[in-house]
Amino acid sequence: MFSYHDRWEKLTQSDFEKMSYDVYAYNRGFYRWTEAYLMRSDYKQLDMPEYYVDESVTEAGKFNQEAEYYLQKMKDFCEDKDIQLVLIKAPMEGWTSGIHNAVQQYADESGIAFFDFNYVPYIDEISYDHAVDSWDGVHMNYWGAEKLSSWLGMYLVDVCGVSDVREDSRYAFLGQEAIKYDEDIARDIGLTRIDNLTDYLS
C-alpha cells in the first residue's frame, strides 16, 4: 500500500514478485526517507509552501461523503471503547484552508482535539522546516517525522494519559524493536554521507 498508493490502477504481475517478504514491524508502517527536499530540489523552488493555512479564509469546505462516513465510524468506535480520539494533519500539500475549517468545525462540534501542523502555532511548536524536514515537498522525511512524533508522544502521555510501559516485561519486545529501528536509521543516514562508491557498495 505504501509503495504503490499513487499507481494502484497500473500494477502488473512484477509488482507482486518481491525478492523478500520479511516483515519490518518495528517501522510501524513508516517509510524512512533520509533525504531532504533541499537536497533534491532547486533552491528557488523552496518558497513558502502553498499548503499553509490562510487565516483570512473563514468558510468551511465540504467533506468527501465517504471520508465523513468513516470519520464518524471512527468517532463512534472510540466513544464505544472509551478511547480519546485526536485528529492530526501533518504538514504537506493538498490541504486547503476550506478543508482545515471543515475539520476544525467537525472537531469543535464533536468535542475532539484537532492539531493542524500546517498551521501556527503547531508548525512552529515542532520547528518544522519545509526545506529540511520534507522529502519531496509533500511527505515528511525522517527528521520531520521525528519532530511530529516527539510532540505527539508528549501530548498522548501528558494529556491523554497514555502509560509508559518501558518497565513492563510484557512490552520488552518494543525495546528490542526500538534498538533495531535505531540501527537501521543510523545505517540509512550513514549511507547518505558516503561519497566513495566502493565504501557505499560494501
Q: How far apart are CA 80 and CA 20, in angstroms?
A: 39
Helix (H) or strand (E) holding 186: helix 172-192
Label residues 44-64 b or e (16+ Cβ within 10 Å = b): eebeebebebeeeeeebeebe
Beta-strand ranges (E) seen in the chain are: 86-89, 113-116
Question: Over the stretch 53-106, which tens digit does the pLDDT of each residue have?
Answer: 667 778 888 888 998 999 999 999 999 999 999 999 998 766 788 888 999 999
Question: Over the stretch 47-60, which tens digit does the pLDDT of each residue have?
Answer: 555 555 667 778 88
Q: How far apart are CA 75 and CA 200, in angstroms?
A: 48
